[in-house]
Amino acid sequence: MLKKTTFAFALLLLLNSCAAQDKKFSKNNWYAFTKTNNQKSISSEVYDFSDDMIRMYGENIGYLITEKSYKNFELSLEFRWNIEEKYKRGSATKNSGVMYNIPTDSPDHIWPKGIQFQMKENTTGDFIFLDNITAVVNGKLVEAGASVVSPKFSANENPYGEWNQVLIRSFNGKITQYLNGKLVNQCTEASSTEGKISLNYEGSPIDFRKFKLKNISKDEN
């Protein structure tokens, strides 16, 4: 009985330790930066934190960005295009993204230096390397530039209005991007391996939820 009790206690400690690695984010973990304001803003005064979601809509083109920097992580979240009529903004192509490995010494501007998981009609899953960030994709070094797109390997986006699951793993320059459980892009030797994380609002109303981040200590790709 003692051995069983000891094992159960050890297992509980292990599970608690694993659970402690997951970071759940609230409005206090972010600040906002917009095209019309050249300084930090309080996140909840710019975008909507309600119903366990981050809802980005309206006129404030910009982003939410973490106060802290992260390295060697697994990031998961869900997004959906907000198709409610009251938030509609024209008929332009829906466009947004999640950025990561944004260097801490890079100034806030539209859009910051880093790597983006592109969210856009028919191209969700593309890499976008901004401000001369480079990486090796399919054995070839991506040419440095202001904004360089590396197309997704395959498509897997759900219909408008439905939730999509995004998972990003970044470990010492090797990055994989998953969409709804399917690998859609991969690179190695990324020139930026750590930094802040942002949720972009590029004019297309969008909702985010279930944002979690876990530190990883080995290549889990």
pLDDT, tens digit, for every residue of 132-155? 999 999 999 999 999 999 999 999
In tens, the pLDDT along 86-130 reads: 888 878 889 999 999 999 999 999 999 999 999 998 889 999 999
The fraction of the chain above a pLDDT of 90, given in percent, is: 76
Terminal Cα distance for the chain, rounded: 40
The per-residue pLDDT for 111 is: 95
CATH number of 25-215: 2.60.120.560
The per-residue pLDDT for 11 is: 36
The per-residue pLDDT for 160 is: 86
The per-residue pLDDT for 22 is: 60
Domain ranges of the chain: 25-215
Phi/psi for 106 (5° steps) reads -90, 130
User: When comparing pLDDT for 6 and 73, which is higher?
Assistant: 73
Question: What is the spatial distance between Cα 19 and Cα 154, in angstroms, rounded to a whole number?
Answer: 32
Mean pLDDT of the chain: 89
Q: What's the DSSP call for residue 188?
A: B
Quickly tell me which residue has 């609230």 as its tokens: 26
Using DSSP, state whether 170 is helix, strand or coil: strand
